[in-house]
Amino acid sequence: MTGPAGRIADQAAPLRQMASSTWSGPDPVPGPGPSSWRLARTLTVTSGKGGVGKTVLAVNLALALGELGLRVALVDADLGMANVDVVLGLMPRYHIGHVIRGVCSLEQALCPGPKGVLVLPGASGLADLAALDEARLWQVLRELRQLDRLADVVVVDTGAGIGPQVMAFLEASPEVLVVATPEPTSITNAYGLIKTLVQSRSTGRDVAPRLFLAVNMDRRRDEGQRVVRRLQTVVGRFLGVEIVTLGIVPYDGAVALAVAEQTPLLLRRPDSPASRAIRQLAWRLMDLPEQPQRPGLSGIVSRMLRRMR
Ligand SMILES: Nc1ncnc2c1ncn2[C@@H]1O[C@H](COP(=O)(O)OP(=O)(O)OP(=O)(O)O)[C@@H](O)[C@H]1O
Ligand SMILES: [Mg+2]
């Protein structure tokens, strides 16, 4: 089939099958193993306002999870300004856009990072997914499913705001970490993002979101707590959903230093106040019961594409 309508029909089968939480057909990635694979838990990190520390938290949270002995993948899904590799001081040859276009395999694009974390560098190529033909889409989803099997947890760093692609990705994500700072604009934008997400979920087909909150760049002891109380109250009262606080990360001069040196904070200053707080976020995350559904990154991407059609 040709033309956009034909392409949509072509894409439907792989999208439906990959969107299910467990894979019921033959395993898409050859090799030994059970017929129903346990896929990675995914945490999508986002914010209403830019520059609040999503990338810093996503990178260091991934490392903290790696320290706990988990197999962790860190995916840069920031479509505008992919910079996970910069914060980690990596110089990747390939990125996610190359995988999507078939220039390289997922395995070739994955960079080994500190603490055993596998890093999939970002690019603007995610938008190209919507235009792939059926065969190529199957291939990409199969590659992503490989990552879902390689990792216990996949941490996904996204861009800020409520653009259609970011929203479609968030709507498809089972667990979303919203990062906010005590700045009034950051709090207002975080609420706006959560509201958009909750309202679109209620009209869509996907399961209810599990929302987490992290307050970053807290400068005073009581300020972060105030932000947590305020957001939890308004989200509960006006949107009728719960947002679980993972923790509060203090403003810490060591963060800017680590970013400037392109060395992750957890390596550069493992005992700094922000490092300690990020480790607590990781412990809290792993302590909390997770969503029963584990669509993995491959499932999120296929759900996202269905929502964007
Ligand atoms: N806890 C902190 N203490 C001090 N500075 C911080 C902290 N967290 C982040 N920063 C500073 O904020 C800057 C922006 O952080 P980061 O790039 O992670 O934000 P972002 O939300 O990912 O931005 P974008 O929306 O552009 O993707 C960092 O370069 C760092 O200097
Ligand atoms: Mg960022």
Q: Is the CB of 47 inside a 6 Å radius of any atom of ligand 1? A: yes
How far is ligand 1, taken at its centre, from the CA of residue 135, in Å?
39
Which bound ligand lies closest to the C-alpha atom of 254?
Answer: 1
**Position 200 confidence tier, pLDDT thresholds 50, 70, 90:** confident
Residue nearest to atom 9 of ligand 1 (CA): 53
How far is ligand 1, taken at its centre, from the CA of residue 8, in Å?
38
Structure tokens at 184: 């009034």
Task: Please report, in angstroms and rounded to a whole number, the separation of the first and last CA atoms in the chain.
Answer: 17
> Is the pLDDT at 207 greater than 80, yes or no?
no
Structure tokens at 80: 């505008």
* DSSP strands (E only) in the chain: 41-46, 72-77, 111-112, 118-120, 153-158, 175-180, 210-218, 243-250
> Is the pLDDT at 261 greater than 50, yes or no?
yes
> Is the pLDDT at 279 greater than 50, yes or no?
yes
Q: Is the CB of 218 inside a 6 Å radius of any atom of ligand 1? A: no
Q: Could you give phi then psi for residue 230, rounded to 5 degrees?
A: -65, -50
Give the model's pLDDT for residue 202: 59
**Position 201 confidence tier, pLDDT thresholds 50, 70, 90:** low
Give the model's pLDDT for residue 37: 56
Q: How far apart are CA 270 and CA 181, in angstroms?
A: 22
Q: How far apart are CA 162 and CA 156, in angstroms?
A: 16
Name the CATH superfamily housing domain 3-21+40-308.
P-loop containing nucleotide triphosphate hydrolases (3.40.50.300)
Q: Is the CB of 51 inside a 6 Å radius of any atom of ligand 1? A: yes
Higher pLDDT, 279 or 198: 279
Q: Is the CB of 85 inside a 6 Å radius of any atom of ligand 1? A: no
Which of 155, 157, 259 gets mutated to test ligand 1 (max ligand atoms within 8 A of its CB)?
259
pLDDT digits (tens, 9 = 90+) for 57-105: 999 999 999 999 999 999 999 877 889 999 999 999 999 989 988 999 9
**Position 141 confidence tier, pLDDT thresholds 50, 70, 90:** very high
**Position 284 confidence tier, pLDDT thresholds 50, 70, 90:** very high
* Helix, strand or coil, per DSSP, at residue 280: helix
Which bound ligand lies closest to the C-alpha atom of 50?
Answer: 1
Give the model's pLDDT for residue 15: 57
Q: Please spell the DSSP secondary structure of 58-125, one letter per residue.
A: HHHHHHHHHHTT--EEEEEE-SS---HHHHHT---S--HHHHHHTSS-HHHH-EE-GGG-EEE---GG
CB 123 within 8 A of CB 150: no
Q: Is the CB of 58 inside a 6 Å radius of any atom of ligand 1? A: no
At position 152, the amino acid (one-letter code) is: D
* Helix, strand or coil, per DSSP, at residue 23: coil
Q: Is the CB of 161 inside a 6 Å radius of any atom of ligand 1? A: no
Give the model's pLDDT for residue 163: 81
At position 305, the amino acid (one-letter code) is: L
Beta-bridge partner residues of 210: 175
Q: How far apart are CA 264 and CA 270, in angstroms?
A: 9
